[in-house]
Structure 1
Amino acid sequence: MSALILAWHSDVAWSFRRSPVAVVSLMVVLILVLAAVFAPLIAPYNPFDPASLNLMNGFSKPMEPNAFTGDTFWLGTDDQGRDVFSTILYGMRISLFVGFTAVLFALVLGVTLGLVAGYVGGWTETIIMRIADVQLTFPAILVAMLIFGIAKGVTPVEHRDEVAIWVLIIAIGLSDWVQFARVVRGATLVERNKEYVMAAKLIGRKPGAIMLRHILPNVLSPVLVIATISLALAIIAEATLSFLGVGAPPTQPSLGTLIRIGQGFLFSGEWWIILFPAVTLLVLALSVNLLGDWLRDALNPKLR
């Protein structure tokens, strides 16, 4: 209880309470995440159950009864008669799962390599950082597309849809680890020469224990900021790949897949099929990004 009281009166909590943008952004993110998690309970229909679909409901306009069945859908339906509101809830589950998991993978990989490069130094640091520099010369989305294409090419055709989500996670994670590694490596270079690290060496601590127990806790603040901002970028990257047709499979459509499907009907008058998934993606990415901007300022000691 006392820990909660101290946390409530901390500088970060005070900064959060004083920032309406951060409060609203967090509320929006929580609402969207909870809506995605509890999609089976909230969604009026299961849009990916073929037995529940009625093609006669196809292209129903938002909040207007269908001319053939008389059914009304809040956000309309697509060409297959799937409720757009339900597809958005289920699509957000895929987008958020891919985003969170890809950032976690990039964080673990980047922090590990950054710690090793900064603490060990020498040829190990040179090799890791030169690989990072080479990767930075290519746009992240192209790196992700290349990795996704290679992984998909070596996967048997009958298993491609089953592993497509995990391949997408690995592709986005491998394209995003560099910024974690560079930041952690720079912070480690500063921390490894401090007295507490020297003391740990004198008492016989092994390098792995020093990196994990002593240096890592002191370099996590910028990592949390990068992770928050990277989440928004990972969600957008997933949507971009899916929109280009190299991301989530049609059997597990994400927000990007829904936007790609809706784009084909935009000029024929069925605007709602692309509008509502696109707005959901925009609100989700913008809210996470604003939250990351606030966290960056709140953890910056120069701005306190």
Structure 2
Amino acid sequence: MNSTIGLRLRNALDSDFAYLFFRSPVAIVSAIVVLVLILAAIFAPLIAPQDPFNPVELNLMNGFTPPGTPNAFTGESFWLGTDDQGRDVFSTILHGMRISLFVGVSAVTFALVLGVTLGLLAGYVGGWTDTIIMRVADVQLTFPAILVAMLIFGIAKGITPVEYRDQMAIWVLILAIGLSDWVQFARVVRGATLVEKGREYVQAAQLIGRRPSAIMLRHILPNVLSPVLVIATISLALAIIAEATLSFLGVGAPPTQPSLGTLIRIGQGFLFSGEWWILLFPSLTLLALALSVNLLGDWLRDALNPRLK
């Protein structure tokens, strides 16, 4: 068992993919930053000095404490300072990243599944199915993705009962971002499916009587996943930014479950009164997360592009 795992690990390290990765300083640094931020978000309850969303742990006397400076009333000191409610900014960032990453990953997963499914159907079935799916995609592309997300969020939140809106806000946000982001997956998969369905192995599967669903899932899908994974990586950064934008505008994560976007919106209100740290540190965290994921996606796109090898 251990020898098998060791052999697979050696093969992975000796692969062209690993060779390209270790020769790219940008990819290495980006991967380290992404890994550190993801682990910090996952283990936030263990790392964070306090639970910033538990009123029992908060002390209003600690409000507006500058970074690394003892509070004048309580004598407590905080690495990144506190906000107006006495919440440790470092703790709010760790917990806020959990919301941002959860929304981003879930939205991209939803968009990927929806887009790949519709792209496979459009490319393989063709006819009216292809026409309807692609025309809907073309219409959606005429609008900015953030406006589509705001529209879907507003409609979904409007039909949600008032007493469940805060509880369902995160899921509505995932739905809104996912529905605004499926088009690029569908278009790429449709184009690749049109190429693959003319190959001999697909024709052979048709001749022996394989069902269309089996052909799409077992034969065509594995051969169109490479560009999909690249798009998913880049889309993750865009989804995180979209979530932060919606939350900053006040139509995203609720105040009871603030994400990085919500923290930035809160900090923006205190920027000109001198409490700069409430805005600065969540903004830098969002920038580091989105930029690192985006750079990693750019490297992955180049690494999987056969024309650049």
Shared fold, TM over 0.5: yes
Picking from 33, 37, 42, the partner of 2:42 is: 37
- The answer for unaligned runs of 5 or more in structure 1 is none
Q: Provide the C-alpha distance between the structure 1 equivalents of 2:127 and 2:165, rounded to a whole number of angstroms.
A: 41
1:123 lines up with 2:128 in the alignment: yes
1:54 lines up with 2:51 in the alignment: no
Residue 249 of structure 2 corresponds to 244
Residue 210 of structure 2 corresponds to 205
SS of the counterpart of 1:246? coil
Picking from 3, 17, 42, the partner of 2:8 is: 3
Q: Provide the C-alpha distance between the structure 1 equivalents of 2:126 and 2:238, rounded to a whole number of angstroms.
A: 30
Q: Provide the C-alpha distance between the structure 1 equivalents of 2:9 and 2:213, rounded to a whole number of angstroms.
A: 32
Paired amino acid for 2:232: A
Q: Provide the C-alpha distance between the structure 2 equivalents of 1:113 and 1:15, rounded to a whole number of angstroms.
A: 33
Residue 269 of structure 2 corresponds to 264
Using the size of structure 2 for normalisation, the TM-score is 0.98
Q: Provide the C-alpha distance between the structure 1 equivalents of 2:218 and 2:270, rounded to a whole number of angstroms.
A: 55
Q: Provide the C-alpha distance between the structure 1 equivalents of 2:198 and 2:164, rounded to a whole number of angstroms.
A: 50
Picking from 233, 237, 254, the partner of 2:238 is: 233
Picking from 298, 302, 307, the partner of 1:297 is: 302
Q: Provide the C-alpha distance between the structure 2 equivalents of 1:154 and 1:112, rounded to a whole number of angstroms.
A: 27
Using the size of structure 1 for normalisation, the TM-score is 0.99
Pairs aligned (count): 304
Paired amino acid for 1:233: L
Residue 176 of structure 1 corresponds to 181
Residue 97 of structure 1 corresponds to 102
Q: Provide the C-alpha distance between the structure 2 equivalents of 1:25 and 1:42, rounded to a whole number of angstroms.
A: 22
Q: Provide the C-alpha distance between the structure 1 equivalents of 2:291 and 2:57, rounded to a whole number of angstroms.
A: 34
How far off its partner does 1:12 sit?
1.0
Q: Provide the C-alpha distance between the structure 2 equivalents of 1:207 and 1:269, rounded to a whole number of angstroms.
A: 63
1:287 lines up with 2:287 in the alignment: no
Query: Superposition pairs for residues 139-218 of structure 1, below 5 Å?
Result: 139-218=144-223
SS of the counterpart of 1:63? coil
Residue 81 of structure 1 corresponds to 86
Identity %: 83
Q: Provide the C-alpha distance between the structure 1 equivalents of 2:42 and 2:205, rounded to a whole number of angstroms.
A: 44
1:13 lines up with 2:18 in the alignment: yes
Q: Provide the C-alpha distance between the structure 2 equivalents of 1:203 and 1:39, rounded to a whole number of angstroms.
A: 54
| Pairwise CA RMSD | 0.5
- Deviations for 1:23-45, whole angstroms, at most 9, x for unmatched residues? 11000000000000000000001
SS of the counterpart of 2:275? coil
How far off its partner does 1:3 sit?
2.5
Q: Provide the C-alpha distance between the structure 2 equivalents of 1:243 and 1:254, rounded to a whole number of angstroms.
A: 9
Paired amino acid for 2:118: L
SS of the counterpart of 1:72? coil
Q: Provide the C-alpha distance between the structure 1 equivalents of 2:44 and 2:264, rounded to a whole number of angstroms.
A: 19
1:70 lines up with 2:75 in the alignment: yes
Q: Provide the C-alpha distance between the structure 2 equivalents of 1:104 and 1:288, rounded to a whole number of angstroms.
A: 15
- Deviations for 1:141-191, whole angstroms, at most 9, x for unmatched residues? 000000000001001111000000000000000000000000000000000
Paired amino acid for 1:183: V
Q: Once structures 1 and 2 are overlaid, which stretch shifts more, 77-86 or 2-11?
A: 2-11
Q: Provide the C-alpha distance between the structure 2 equivalents of 1:133 and 1:3, rounded to a whole number of angstroms.
A: 44
SS of the counterpart of 1:214? helix
SS of the counterpart of 1:80? coil
- The answer for unaligned runs of 5 or more in structure 2 is none
How far off its partner does 1:4 sit?
2.3
